[in-house]
A = this chain, B = another copy of it.
Amino acid sequence: MSTERLNSLKKFFKKYRRLPSYSEMLGIFGFSSKNAVFKLINKWVSDGLLTKIDGKLAPSSRFFALPLLGNIKAGYPILAEENKQYLTIDDYLINDPTSTFLLKVSGDSLIGVGIFDGDIVVIESKKQANIGDIVLAQIDREWTLKIFKKDRMKRISYLEAANPKYPAFYPREDLQIFGVVKAVVRKLN
């Protein structure tokens, strides 16, 4: 099976963050002719695992992507090949890497929206937010992660926790937004 060879290619990419050259692939695949490499690579290209754009070889997104299985209630054959999508978590969660950063959450102020102590949130830097967004903000010079709200006349912005334990936070002086939470990531164990 060439699945093993594909896995060794993936392993190489994972380790070196690039595709090996054909000469290197000789060793990786156990070939002694570059033509064998050439043919195998082209097979993967037509399979959609790799791409060649004017002669330049690169992995396609399918190369990295993990299978995404749909609704498990949908029935029995959830592991069937047909309803597989593929995605990379990074690509799924992050639009613009240059304006995105991560923040390790501490505290229980957002448990109501399913964000727990130790979770990592993906934040996109921006100065404006919509009502209901979870924002990283500075309220009276103190940093915090809360829900962005406006009073009913939409005159005053304030922050709210997602935990009945905490009151609403109205700024005494000012409220500055630095970013909006786009995603939540939790590692178990």
Contact = CB atoms under 8 A, between A and B. Distances in A.
Interface of A: 7, 10, 14, 16-19, 21, 53, 56-61, 63-64, 66-73, 75-76, 78, 87-90, 92-94, 97-98, 100-107, 111, 114-116, 120, 122, 133-134, 136, 141, 143-145, 181-189
A98 to B, nearest CB: 5
A161 to B, nearest CB: 14
10 contacts: A18-B59, A66-B100, A67-B102, A68-B101, A72-B106, A72-B145, A134-B188, A182-B187, A182-B188, A184-B185
A14 B103 CA distance: 23
Contacts of A184: 184-186, 188
Interface of A is mostly: mixed
A117 B59 CA distance: 32
A185 B145 contact: no
A143 B188 contact: no
Nearest to A186: B184
Contacts of A98: 7, 10
A17 B59 CA distance: 6
Given A60-B17, A72-B143, A101 B182 contact: no
Contacts of A60: 17
